[in-house]
Structure 1
């Protein structure tokens, strides 16, 4: 009798679990989510073994632990350890951080949802799943959202350029996370065949780099890269070997010359020391904003992620032929140009005034041609040409700031959009769409970086993306026109994920496919709506 009662009780418990949306079972066991009112959340789910100890500076290993008890997935994700220039406490996060967080709308009339997988931005140096919110997406209630954590900074990208320390660990984390999503998302109510990968800034570039793997088409139906793609000059690093050995010297490994010895030494050092060493690679503030990032690995490197320049990969045609959308904002360059306008609290002087004396020193760091193959004289000549092209004979000043910002926009973001679209439309076999956003926010990144509200910056980095993945305190309220744009963006992502036949739309506008097109076609978004534009050359 006792055994019968036990079996009945167990059956009832299993039935309760089966009907409880907060309990989800995957291969590792059961996990418990949280009811947030209008959506469910399942956070901090590990997709890889902790990258600590001997697994530091190694390709991620799939998470293999079997849960005996129910895994608690109600804890918000911690960011991966990072040196974050944008926060009061610069050193943040934990080394054991390779998790995904899932957010599912509460709609009892449907069993499954198309999926948005977000790769966070942050210049490959900071950021994470917890940085951008998901309230706008959950409010619409039509998409299941997955946010990915991956290693950043030196822990994610330190490289000696050989098989001992090849680098790109953060990109390999992303790839494993996307594979995990594909394999497990159906258990959470997601459609595994209807996934769109979205990223902004370094996340946008990461999305593009993931797409450059042919089998990405098995992981996602479409991809969207916002204000970042693989052809921007700050993506592929060329002087990584020097930086890796300098990193070792800073944390006490001495003047090593052997990569294997360096790797072993770095594995023995506290993660806090390695990450804190980032400040030694900055010339001031957060310049350069990406001292560590993706590299080209040797072809014989184990688990190599990227062995060819992205442009060459595209020319080869050996990438995933899925619909890809690439975007920028009209004034993306305000992302790091705006800091030039911050006034020194003691002297009242701005960096843009000092730039007149330091242009040749600082320009290669600002615009990422320091680690190119140019000699010092060639870099100076290039710096001089840029100054003449954008400013003529004028001095750097508040009056010439808009032209400086335009320079930053063109070189760091806009030119890469043109180059990538041109290559994809020539060598690709799938649609490629381009969008530009020109609807300035009242308070955005430029106002924060400049610590000024008396200037107009235009639509800067993130003004569009933050209408999809909200930024919380930076923009606690958005305008009615931004509300409309937010809903339209989210509907567009849903269409991309579903992959319905026909051209995708943004509101009343049909996105124009650049594949095999004789003209460059771009969708422009403003406060008043959207328009399709065509150019023989990039505007």
Structure 2
């Protein structure tokens, strides 16, 4: 013990000597030089032998023009004190009655962990937030004083650099006229600009520009998917993680953007002819934001998630073709993707409120939901869907059976089948890239006596976020040991993947081996707090995936 103390004292004496020579402690970066100028963050002590540099609000591009691609930032003269979060990108409030945020929002945040020496050549993980391409942000608290996307736990436990990024959403990020006049995808271009900035500058922060991993959830997961498919990102990152969202999700791509553009034009007093785009560009940004179509509560015959119409488009540029034909661009990217077991619960509960308030629902509610999802195939589509989803009901299905089926329909249609499609296409096109698939099945924390959810509710949409970002460690009183275990598993798998492209191999121990996904075996890992050797599955919900990806599309379409 005495020898250890002497050795530690020796290390600190060396640290003091370095501090005298360089005016900074041994375990912090101090002032960092970037292409825009000098930046200085905040150093946080995590313990005797660990610390972290946190940089907030570094601009990676200039204030964007309305419906323009991002441009390089002009830079700054004095050292930028990167100690406060920037403001979110301009967007509608949750109640959709006002707006908040700013146009000058293309900033990023960086967490850099250190041991006894300043870190160098660390893997980098770049985070894209969700919010349906309509809202969201990684700048400061997400609700009340709770900052969900803090990178400290991931960075510290996995020994990686974490970067979170701001990008335009809603009208300013994704409005498109469907042609070259207003091509859209401005939010995706913002993300690309941030990725390119990280590639050019992260070495100054101790990161390895040749080992960058993108990760994101929901619309952020779909954004990650789009970034892997675009030809503009070649060589800028090495790995990618999509949580509950890919480019194939029906809500993640707009097939008829012109209709939405004309609706916005009418609301702001612009014509819908060849003068529409010029007029839209002259309109006040806040007015444009408020003109976005309302996201309304749904019903079985008109689901709420279908109202998310401001999404990426096939623009012939960032996305040269339909996403299903662009997987050759991801052939050398390691890809990890998956869903939550009841991703559809949050949304189906809006369409059928009795699911949320524990009232009774009818078979007709499920039928109406399936009729909407299969409407392009008419009666034949509906009958095929009913045959698949009610086969296990028997003559008198229970309320729980009917409700679970409704949630499964939403989960499969909006999330699970599209994500499995993307995973399969990636594996089929892969050259050096590896593919991994997962299903989070941890029961929701909102079930139990006095809590709002039914006891059968599994992992709802966004339930994964708290575990990925280590909330059970930062707010321990709100969680138990099982949730801390699960959070540790997530961080270990995710950061190992960032280190090596293999979630099993890296700096962190994992509870079991996660097999690769191949087109022949289609293995996946079921993630929860009680994982064991039975947690490896095969061909996730293959019967229902086959229905949405093969049976239904091959039925003849109905003309209206």
The corresponding residue for 2:438 is 435
Find 2:184's aligned residue among 167, 183, 190.
167
Q: Which moved more, 1:33-42 or 1:432-441?
A: 33-42
Q: 2:66, 2:397 → 1: CA distance?
A: 48
Q: Which moved more, 1:454-463 or 1:162-171?
A: 454-463
The corresponding residue for 2:42 is 34
Q: Please list the CA deviations of residues 402-432 of structure 1 after superposition, one character each: whole Å capped at 9, or x if unmatched.
A: 1100001111111112222222222221211
Superposition map of 1:96-135 within 5 A: 96-112=104-120, 113-130=122-139, 131=142, 132-135=149-152
User: 1:241 and 2:255 equivalent?
Assistant: no
Give the aligned length: 496
The corresponding residue for 2:273 is 257
Q: CA deviation at 1:278?
A: 2.6
Q: 2:264, 2:192 → 1: CA distance?
A: 26
The corresponding residue for 1:492 is 493
The corresponding residue for 1:390 is 389
The corresponding residue for 2:335 is 324
Q: 2:172, 2:478 → 1: CA distance?
A: 36
Superposition map of 1:14-25 within 5 A: 15-16=22-23, 21-25=29-33
Contact preservation (8 Å) 2:92, 2:99? yes
The corresponding residue for 1:5 is none
Q: 1:153, 1:355 → 2: CA distance?
A: 35
Q: Please list the CA deviations of residues 157-192 of structure 1 after superposition, one character each: whole Å capped at 9, or x if unmatched.
A: 100111100111111111110010111111112222
SS at structure 1 position matched to 2:138: coil
Q: Please list the CA deviations of residues 185-216 of structure 1 after superposition, one character each: whole Å capped at 9, or x if unmatched.
A: 11112222222111111111111111113564
The corresponding residue for 1:402 is 404
Contact preservation (8 Å) 1:196, 1:493? no
Are the structure 2 counterparts of residues 382 and 265 from structure 1 closer, same or farther at C-alpha, using a change threshold of 3 Å? farther
Are the structure 2 counterparts of residues 138 and 281 from structure 1 closer, same or farther at C-alpha, using a change threshold of 3 Å? closer
Contact preservation (8 Å) 1:226, 1:465? no
User: 1:459 and 2:477 equivalent?
Assistant: no
Q: 2:166, 2:384 → 1: CA distance?
A: 40
Contact preservation (8 Å) 1:520, 1:535? yes
Q: CA deviation at 1:481?
A: 1.8
Q: 1:141, 1:89 → 2: CA distance?
A: 41
Superposition map of 1:141-180 within 5 A: 142-180=159-197
Find 2:306's aligned residue among 278, 288, 309.
288
Are the structure 2 counterparts of residues 342 and 123 from structure 1 closer, same or farther at C-alpha, using a change threshold of 3 Å? same
The corresponding residue for 2:283 is 269
The corresponding residue for 2:10 is none
Q: 2:457, 2:475 → 1: CA distance?
A: 16
Q: CA deviation at 1:217?
A: 5.0
Q: 1:218, 1:438 → 2: CA distance?
A: 34
Q: TM-score, normalised by structure 2?
A: 0.79
SS at structure 2 position matched to 1:164: coil
Q: Which moved more, 1:74-83 or 1:396-405?
A: 396-405
Are the structure 2 counterparts of residues 504 and 325 from structure 1 closer, same or farther at C-alpha, using a change threshold of 3 Å? farther
The corresponding residue for 1:417 is 419
Q: 1:68, 1:110 → 2: CA distance?
A: 26
Contact preservation (8 Å) 1:231, 1:311? yes
Gaps of 5+ in 1: 1-11
Find 2:326's aligned residue among 306, 313, 316.
313
User: 1:94 and 2:102 equivalent?
Assistant: yes
Contact preservation (8 Å) 2:493, 2:504? no
Are the structure 2 counterparts of residues 503 and 397 from structure 1 closer, same or farther at C-alpha, using a change threshold of 3 Å? closer
Are the structure 2 counterparts of residues 236 and 344 from structure 1 closer, same or farther at C-alpha, using a change threshold of 3 Å? closer
Contact preservation (8 Å) 1:391, 1:404? no
Q: 2:204, 2:213 → 1: CA distance?
A: 18
Q: 1:310, 1:322 → 2: CA distance?
A: 16
The corresponding residue for 1:534 is 538
Contact preservation (8 Å) 1:82, 1:125? yes
Q: 1:161, 1:81 → 2: CA distance?
A: 23
Q: TM-score, normalised by structure 1?
A: 0.82
Greater RCO (CA < 8 Å, at least 6 residues apart) = 1
Q: CA deviation at 1:455?
A: 4.7
Q: CA deviation at 1:353?
A: 4.8
The corresponding residue for 1:334 is 345
Q: 1:502, 1:400 → 2: CA distance?
A: 37
User: 1:61 and 2:71 equivalent?
Assistant: yes
Contact preservation (8 Å) 2:253, 2:313? yes
Are the structure 2 counterparts of residues 217 and 423 from structure 1 closer, same or farther at C-alpha, using a change threshold of 3 Å? same
Are the structure 2 counterparts of residues 269 and 77 from structure 1 closer, same or farther at C-alpha, using a change threshold of 3 Å? same
